[in-house]
Amino acid sequence: MISTHLPILQVLVPLLAAPVLALLRGRTLSYLVATGFVVVAFLIAIGLTIQVVHTGAVSYAIGNWAPPLGIEYRIDELTVIMLLMVTGIASAVLIGGGQSIAVEIPERRAPLFFALFCLNVAGLIGMTVTGDVFNLFVFLEISSLSTYALVAMGRDRRALTAAYQYLVIGTVGATFYVIGVGLLYMMTGTLNMADLTARVSGVESTLTIKTALAFLFIGLGVKLGMMPVHFWLPNAYAQAPSTVSAFLAGTATKVAVYVMLRIVFGIFGIGIFTSSYLADVVIALGIFAMVAASVSAIFQSDAKRLLAYSSLAQIGYILFALGLATEAGLTAAILHLFNHGLMKATLFLALTAVALRLGRTRLEDFDGLAQAMPATMLAFAVAALSLVGVPLTIGFVSKWYLLAAAFDRDGVLVAAVILGSSLLALLYLWPLVERAYFRKRPAGAPEIEEAPLALILAMWALVAVNVFLGVNSQFTVNLAANAARHLIGAVP
């Protein structure tokens, strides 16, 4: 019986964790409660995945109001990929990050911190499962507001300005999204995604509907860190507490991309997307990001910032694949969405360990770290190689599909650009690995020990998933391919 209510429980569990946590005192208790709730959410995500794989898409009418009157939750292959990722990474970050949070967040604020963390998770999940464009906005705001506060918890005072900057541009982006929803609603009279899909095709030729698409696109573009409206991202990732960076880097932008997929392909359909030149714009922006952000990453002196720029570049890949507007392209985009989240979460978790032991993450701090923290650095190295696209990791699988998609439509030149950009990834990540493995710790550097066991376990759990899905990619590839087929077929 409970299985029919899994969709709503998926959101409710982390959502209800927040008020409960706000009532609590003490770090340990609130940590355990938050972790418990998030892990339960992960288990629910697994249950939903099994359900969807067996019986196909699940719909849940909240309040028993048949859509489009009420708000509908809709869960299909694409959704469960995101759910697994968001809840999985959240669990990994909480389980592994306990000690880091203890160091970075003062005892008195710990319950509130965890409450915000759970709200963030709930917001992202809510954005993922909802089938209603306005409900999406509400959960977008829940996740955004909690993110702003979480980023501001960073130890450096620049965390405050980073949070502020993110707040301003994030709110502008969200408001653009609302404008787009308004126009969409104006032309169709509904807010339900499935209903919109059916009704948009009737007004496909109007300018207004294209304008709606443009505004939704810009609004979400801000949230997903699309160049050139990306500038909040490096600051936010670099200044946030390490665990928050790890969680955000793995999930937040990915969920925004997911929403964009849902809206662009699920609601508007390929026809409008390609005929309005938006597709070409997206491809251009994607290629621009993969080159420009990779080059910027090379010149960063702080590892967190470096990885943040790398994220921008990887989002470029996803945008590019999305812009191809083919089944192969969407498969690649969805795959990379998932894979990149996994890789980035691992990398940032490794940085969490470094920050925990050294208090900072500048490049030169990595000298000789492999001797002091072998497990951490090995996880980092594997994830880094994965990001470059070395075989037997998920990064290779992504890259393969990206290239195949590029070949399918744009041919060799673009494929070469993608490969070139992955070489740049090698160029900016290799120095870290080399420093860690082939340099000596500077003389007089403090003795440090390996990261706490929980953190290592969290990292290696992600690495294990990475390698497993890298060698045997059937599961994710099939899910992604199915999801892509559904998205493409949503509007004939």
Partner 1 sequence: MEFPGLYNYWIAMVLMMMGLYIVITDPNMVKKIVGLSIFQVSVFVFYISMAKVRGGTAPILDDRFTVYSNPLPHVLILTAIVVGIATTALALALLVRIQAAFGTVDEEAIKALERET
Partner 2 sequence: MTLAPDQLLLWAFLTPIIVAVLVAVAGPWRNLRDAISVLGSLATFGFVAMLASEWEDKLVSRTIADFLPGLTLRFSLEPLGLLFAVIASTLWVLSTIYAIGYMRANEEHDQTRFFALFALAIAATLGIAFSGNLLTLFVFYETLTLVTFPLVTHAGTPEAMRAGRTYLGILLSTSILFFFLAMVWTYFEAGTLDFIKGGILNEETGPSVTLVLFLLYMFGIAKTALMPFHRWLPAAMVAPTPVSALLHAVAVVKAGVFAVVKVIVYVLGVERLAGVPGTAIVPVVAGFTIIAASLVALKQANLKRLLAYSTISQLSYVVLSATLLTPISIMGAVLHIAMHAVAKITLFFAAGAVYTAAHKSEIGELDGIGRRMPWTMGAFAVAALSMIGLPPTAGFVSKWVILKGAFDATAWCAVAVLVLSTVLNAAYFLPIVHRAFFRPLSAEAQAHPHGEAPFPSVLALTLTALLTLGLFFFPGEAMKIAEAVATGR
Partner 3 sequence: MHDHAVLRVVSKLLMPFIFLFALYVQFHGDFGPGGGFQAGVIFGAGMILYALIFGLKAARKVAPLHYLRAQLSLGVLLYAGTGIVGLVQGSNYLDYSVLAHDPAHGQEYGIMLIEMGVLLTVSSAMTLIFYLFAGQDH
Binds partner 2 by CB under 8 A, chosen from 59, 175, 206, 478: 478
* 106 near partner 2 (CB under 8 A): no
Determine the size of the site formed for partner 2 (CB under 8 A): 33
| Residue where the block lists tokens 């409710």 | 12
The stretch near partner 2 (CB under 8 A) out of 17-25, 282-290, 345-353, 473-481 is: 473-481
* 329 near partner 2 (CB under 8 A): no
Binds partner 3 by CB under 8 A, chosen from 6, 10, 18, 311: 18
| Residue where the block lists tokens 């989002």 | 315
Binds partner 2 by CB under 8 A, chosen from 65, 277, 299, 407: 407
Q: Which does 8 bind (CB under 5 to 8 A by kind): partner 2, partner 3, partner 1, none?
A: partner 3
* 403 near partner 2 (CB under 8 A): yes
Q: Which does 438 bind (CB under 5 to 8 A by kind): partner 2, partner 3, partner 1, none?
A: partner 2
What is the smallest separation between the CB atom of 212 and partner 1, expressed in angstroms? 12
The stretch near partner 2 (CB under 8 A) out of 47-55, 85-93, 259-267, 408-416 is: 408-416
Q: What is the pattern of x (binds partner 3, CB under 8 A) and - over residues 43-72?
A: -----------------xxxxx--------
Q: Which amino acid is at 186?
A: M
What is the smallest separation between the CB atom of 189 and partner 1, expressed in angstroms? 9
* 22 near partner 3 (CB under 8 A): yes
Binds partner 3 by CB under 8 A, chosen from 5, 109, 158, 360: 5
22 vs 454, which CB is nearer to partner 3? 22
Neighbours of 299 (CB within 10 A): 10
Q: Which residues pair with 60 in a beta bridge?
A: 73
Q: What is the pattern of x (binds partner 2, CB under 8 A) and - over residues 409-428?
A: ---x--xx--xx-xx--x--
* 168 near partner 2 (CB under 8 A): no
Binds partner 2 by CB under 8 A, chosen from 274, 430, 450, 467: 430
* 404 near partner 2 (CB under 8 A): yes
* 160 near partner 3 (CB under 8 A): no
* 182 near partner 3 (CB under 8 A): no
The phi and psi torsions of 192 (rounded to 5 degrees) equal -75, 135
**Which residues here bind partner 1, judged by CB under 8 A?**
134, 137-138, 141, 145, 148-149, 152, 157-158, 160-161, 163-164, 167-168, 171-172, 174-175, 178-179, 182, 185-186, 191
Q: Which does 138 bind (CB under 5 to 8 A by kind): partner 2, partner 1, partner 3, none?
A: partner 1
